[in-house]
C-alpha cells in the first residue's frame, strides 16, 4: 500500500516522478503528491484523488527541478484529503518526507513533538516522521553540526528511525541540501535504480522501466544516501555496505496496457501465456514428474515431509485451497491452508517434517511476510510461491517457485490465481512422484498440463455468453457462488472477484453446505452461480442446483461443453472446455473473472482501481 518514488539527476524530476507514480498507482490511489527541489527551495504539489489529478495540478502549477520525491497513497491514518496527502513537511520546512508503511508508536511520538512546539497539519502518522527528523536536525545544529553537511542529515535520519516502531519505506529531502535524497527501509519495499549521473528510488521496479536496467533491492534496516554522482548504502547493524547491483528484466517489469481497455481484461487474456510460463522448463517427461530450480531441498529432505502448511491471503489463499485438494489427492500428504493473518499469531504446532509454503503474487503482503518470518524464527525453512521477482518474500524465503506471470496491475488478481494453481499442480505432481504415484499417472498429468494454454485460449469463447449473463443480472444486490471439490475454492474466488470490483454482495460456498444456512438468502432476485463441470460429483451438485431452483433462485451454470442436460435446469449456461477435474479451477475461474469484469463495467465501477483496495497490502 502506498507507492513512493524519488529521483536525483539532471532531468526534469516532476516528469519522472509522475510517470513513476502512474506505474505505482496500483499500490494506492487515495491521493498523490510530489516535492521537487527548485531554484526557490522545495516545491510541493499534492492532491486527493488519482495521479491524473496531480498531473493536472502540475500543468497549472509546475514544479521545476532535477531532484524530488513522490507518493501515491492508500490511506491508513487520516482521510483521503489534500492535507493528508504526502509529501509531509517537518519543522519549518527543513525536511520533506514520503512514506509507505505504518508508524505504530506515532501517537506517543506526536505528543512528545507537540510538547516541544511542533505543529501538526495532518492526521497522518507520516508527519511524525517528518517532524522527528527535523527535531533531530535541530538538536545536531545546536551542538554545532553543519546543516549543509550530508553527514548531519544522515545522522538525523538514523537517530529518528531508531525510535520508530512499525514499518516504513521512506524518501527524504532536506531544505539545506539541494542535491540529496535519502531512502530508508524497514518492512516496506524499496529499490534503487542506478543510472548514469542519476539515481531512482521506488517501492518497486516499475518506475525504473525505460530509465535503467540496474537495480539494487534494499533490505530491512538499510539506509541509502543518493546524490547524482554517488550511492552510499549502510545497514543499521553492519554499517557500510557494498550495494549488490542486479540486472532488471525490463520486459518482465513492463506493464503497458496495450490494446486493452483495462489491466484486468488484459491480464485475463494473458492466461494462456502465463500458464505456459509457469510450466516452462518444469515438466520432466523422462521421469514423469515436475522439476524446480530453486526449491533448495534434496529429494531425501522432501521425502521426509509428512505435513504441508500453505499460508496466504485473499485470492492466494483460494489457490492454496486448490493446492490442498491437489497435494492430498496426488501425494496423500495432509495439507492445511492458513490465513497468514491468523497463522502469524497462532502458536500452531509445526514438526520438523512440516513443510511451509507462503503463496503470494506481490511478495510484499505484510501478513504473509510475517507468517513466513514467524515460521522461520521457529527454525522451519519456508518456501515461497511468488510472482514478483526480487520482492521481500521472494528474497527472504529459503527457496521457492516463481510464477513468471509478469506484472499484475489490475487490483483484482486474475492471472496470478491460475498460475498459482498451475504451480501447485506441479508441486503436487512432484510430491506424488516421490511417493506412490505411478509413472503412467505422472505422464498423464504432464500431458494434460501441457494442453492447458491451448485449452484456456478456447475457454475465451465463453466471453459473449458471459456478457449476456452480465447484462441480465448486473442489477442484483446479492449473488451466491457454489461449487464442490476442486470447484469450491473457485466459487470462493468468483464471489471475491465480484464483490471487490462491482461492490455486489457475493458469497462463495461449498454447494452442499448451502442448505445449512445460505439457502435462506435464495429468492427470485438472488442469482446463484453453480460451477458444475463434469466430474464425479456432478449428480450431487445437480441436486444442490435443484434445491435452489425449487426456491425460485435464478441459476447461472458454468458447465462443460457437451453437457446437453444442464440447459434444462439452469436459466443461463456458460460453457467451458472439458478438462480433468484437478485442472478445472484453471478453466472455470475464467468465466467468473470475466463475469465480475463485465458486471463491474455495467455498473460503472472502476475495474482496475476498486474503492478502498490496493494491490499490495503492506500493512497489517
Could you list the active site residues? 2, 615
> Which C-beta is closer to ligand F6R: that of 549 or that of 603?
603
In a 10 Å sphere around its CB, with 0-12 CB exposed, 13-18 middle and 19+ buried, how is residue 263 labelled? buried
Minimal distance, residue 100 CB to ligand F6R, in Å = 15
Does 368 sit near ligand F6R (CB under 6 A)? yes
> Which C-beta is closer to ligand F6R: that of 74 or that of 174?
74
Q: How far apart are CA 400 and CA 388, in angstroms?
A: 12
Q: How far apart are CA 153 and CA 143, in angstroms?
A: 14
Does 100 sit near ligand F6R (CB under 6 A)? no
Minimal distance, residue 23 CB to ligand F6R, in Å = 17
> Which C-beta is closer to ligand F6R: that of 71 or that of 497?
497
Q: How far apart are CA 336 and CA 325, in angstroms?
A: 10
Minimal distance, residue 42 CB to ligand F6R, in Å = 34
Does 412 sit near ligand F6R (CB under 6 A)? yes
> Which C-beta is closer to ligand F6R: that of 277 or that of 365?
365
Binding mask 495-514 for ligand F6R (x = CB under 6 A): -x---x--------------
Does 58 sit near ligand F6R (CB under 6 A)? no
C-alpha cell at 401: 517457485
Q: Which of residues 301-360 bind ligand F6R (CB under 6 A)?
A: 313-316, 360
Minimal distance, residue 83 CB to ligand F6R, in Å = 28
Contacts of 108 (CB under 8 A, 6+ apart): none
Minimal distance, residue 161 CB to ligand F6R, in Å = 26
> Which C-beta is closer to ligand F6R: that of 290 or that of 416?
416
Does 391 sit near ligand F6R (CB under 6 A)? no
- Decide: 307 and 336 in contact? Cβ < 8 Å: yes
Q: Find, among 120, 111, 113, the residue nearest to 88 by Cα.
A: 120
> Which C-beta is closer to ligand F6R: that of 97 or that of 496?
496
> Which C-beta is closer to ligand F6R: that of 70 or that of 314?
314
Does 101 sit near ligand F6R (CB under 6 A)? no
Q: Which of residues 437-466 bind ligand F6R (CB under 6 A)?
A: none
Q: How far apart are CA 368 and CA 616, in angstroms?
A: 11
Q: Which of residues 599-618 bind ligand F6R (CB under 6 A)?
A: 616-617
Does 572 sit near ligand F6R (CB under 6 A)? no
Q: How far apart are CA 364 and CA 408, in angstroms?
A: 13
Minimal distance, residue 607 CB to ligand F6R, in Å = 12
Dihedral of CA 396/399/404/409: which sign? Answer: negative
The CA-atom distances, in angstroms, between 609 and each of 116, 409, 429, 512, 615 are 41, 9, 37, 34, 9
Does 365 sit near ligand F6R (CB under 6 A)? yes
Does 362 sit near ligand F6R (CB under 6 A)? yes
Which member of 212, 255, 361, 382 binds ligand F6R (CB under 6 A)?
361
Does 400 sit near ligand F6R (CB under 6 A)? no
Q: Can you list the alpha helix ranges (DSSP code H) found in 117-193?
A: 126-142, 150-163
Residue nearest to ligand F6R as judged by C-beta position = 314
Q: Listing from the earlier edge strand, what are the strands of the sheet with 67-73? A: 41-48, 31-38, 67-73, 3-8, 199-202, 191-194, 214-217, 246-247
Q: Which helix (H) or strand (E) holds 213?
A: none
Does 413 sit near ligand F6R (CB under 6 A)? yes
C-alpha cell at 137: 536536525
- Decide: 393 and 386 in contact? Cβ < 8 Å: yes
- Total residues contacting ligand F6R (rule CB under 6 A)? 15
- Decide: 380 and 403 in contact? Cβ < 8 Å: no
Q: Which residues bind ligand F6R (CB under 6 A)?
A: 313-316, 360-362, 365, 368, 412-413, 496, 500, 616-617
Amino acid at each position: 500500500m502506498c507507492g513512493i518514488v524519488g529521483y536525483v539527476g539532471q532531468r526534469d524530476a516532476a516528469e519522472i516522478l509522475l510517470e513513476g507514480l502512474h506505474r505505482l498507482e496500483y499500490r494506492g490511489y487515495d491521493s498523490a503528491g510530489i516535492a521537487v527541489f527548485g531554484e526557490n527551495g522545495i516545491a510541493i504539489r499534492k492532491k486527493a484523488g488519482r495521479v491524473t489529478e496531480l498531473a493536472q495540478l502540475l500543468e497549472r502549477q509546475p514544479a521545476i527541478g532535477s531532484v524530488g520525491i513522490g507518493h501515491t497513497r492508500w490511506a491508513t491514518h487520516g482521510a483521503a484529503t489534500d492535507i493528508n496527502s504526502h509529501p509531509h513537511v517537518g519543522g519549518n520546512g527543513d525536511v520533506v518526507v514520503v512514506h509507505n508503511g505504518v508508524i505504530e508508536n506515532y501517537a506517543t511520538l506526536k505528543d512528545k513533538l507537540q510538547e516541544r512546539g511542533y505543529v501538526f497539519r495532518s492526521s497522518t502518522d507520516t508527519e511524525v516522521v517528518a517532524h522527528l527528523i527535523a527535531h533531530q536536525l535541530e538538536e545536531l545544529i545546536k551542538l554545532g553540526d553543519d546543516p549543509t553537511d550530508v553527514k548531519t542529515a544522515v545522522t538525523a535520519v538514523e537517530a529518528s528511525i531508531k525510535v520508530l516502531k512499525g514499518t516504513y519505506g521512506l524518501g527524504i529531502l532536506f531544505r539545506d541540501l539541494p542535491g540529496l535524497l535519502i531512502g530508508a527501509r524497514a518492512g516496506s519495499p524499496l529499490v534503487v535504480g542506478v543510472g548514469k549521473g542519476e539515481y531512482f528510488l521506488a517501492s518497486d521496479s516499475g518506475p525504473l522501466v525505460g530509465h535503467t536496467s540496474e537495480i539494487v533491492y534494499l533490505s530491512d534496516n538499510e539506509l541509502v544516501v543518493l546524490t547524482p554522482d554517488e550511492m552510499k548504502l549502510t545497514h543499521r547493524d553492519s554499517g557500510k555496505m557494498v550495494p549488490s547491483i542486479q540486472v532488471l528484466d525490463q520486459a518482465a517489469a513492463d506493464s503497458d496496457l496495450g490494446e486493452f481497455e483495462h489491466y484486468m481484461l488484459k491480464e485475463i487474456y494473458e492466461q494462456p501465456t502465463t500458464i505456459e510460463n509457469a510450466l516452462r522448463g518444469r515438466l520432466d517427461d523422462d521421469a514423469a514428474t515436475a522439476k524446480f530450480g530453486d526449491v533448495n531441498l534434496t529429494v531425501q529432505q522432501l521425502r521426509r515431509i509428512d505435513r504441508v502448511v500453505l499460508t496466504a491471503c485473499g485470492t492466494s489463499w483460494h489457490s492454496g485451497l486448490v493446492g490442498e485438494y491437489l497435494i492430498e489427492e496426488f501425494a496423500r500428504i495432509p495439507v492445511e491452508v492458513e490465513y497468514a493473518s491468523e497463522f502469524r499469531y497462532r502458536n500452531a504446532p509445526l514438526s520438523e517434517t512440516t513443510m511451509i509454503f507462503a503463496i503470494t503474487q506481490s511478495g510484499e503482503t505484510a501478513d504473509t511476510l510475517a507468517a513466513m518470518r514467524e515460521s522461520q524464527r521457529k527454525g522451519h525453512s519456508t518456501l515461497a510461491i511468488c510472482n514478483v521477482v526480487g520482492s521481500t518474500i521472494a528474497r527472504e524465503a529459503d527457496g521457492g517457485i516463481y510464477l513468471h506471470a509478469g506484472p499484475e496491475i489490475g487490483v483484482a488478481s486474475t492471472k496470478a490465481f491460475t498460475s498459482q494453481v498451475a504451480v501447485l499442480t506441479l508441486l503436487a505432481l512432484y510430491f506424488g512422484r516421490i511417493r506412490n504415484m505411478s509413472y503412467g499417472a505422472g505422464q498423464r498429468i504432464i500431458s494434460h498440463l501441457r494442453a492447458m494454454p491451448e485449452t484456456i485460449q478456447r475457454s475465451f469463447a465463453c466471453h459473449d455468453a458471459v456478457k449476456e449473463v452480465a447484462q441480465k443480472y448486473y442489477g442484483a444486490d446479492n449473488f451466491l457462488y457454489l461449487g464442490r471439490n476442486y470447484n469450491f475454492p473457485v466459487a470462493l474466488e468468483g464471489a471475491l472477484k465480484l464483490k471487490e470490483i462491482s461492490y455486489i454482495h457475493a458469497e462463495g460456498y461449498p454447494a452442499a453446505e448451502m442448505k445449512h444456512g445460505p439457502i435462506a438468502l435464495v429468492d427470485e432476485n438472488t442469482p446463484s452461480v453453480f460451477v458444475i463441470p463434469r466430474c464425479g460429483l456432478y449428480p450431487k451438485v445437480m441436486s444442490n442446483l435443484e434445491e435452489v431452483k425449487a426456491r425460485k433462485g435464478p441459476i447461472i451454470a458454468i458447465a462443460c461443453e457437451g453437457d446437453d442436460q444442464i440447459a434444462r435446469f439452469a436459466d443461463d449456461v456458460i460453457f467451458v472446455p472439458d478438462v480433468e477435474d484437478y485442472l478445472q479451477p484453471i478453466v472455470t475461474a475464467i468465466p467468473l473473472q470475466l463475469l465480475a469484469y463485465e458486471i463491474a463495467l455495467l455498473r460503472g465501477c472502476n475495474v482496475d482501481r476498486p474503492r478502498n483496495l490496493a494491490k499490495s497490502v503492506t500493512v497489517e
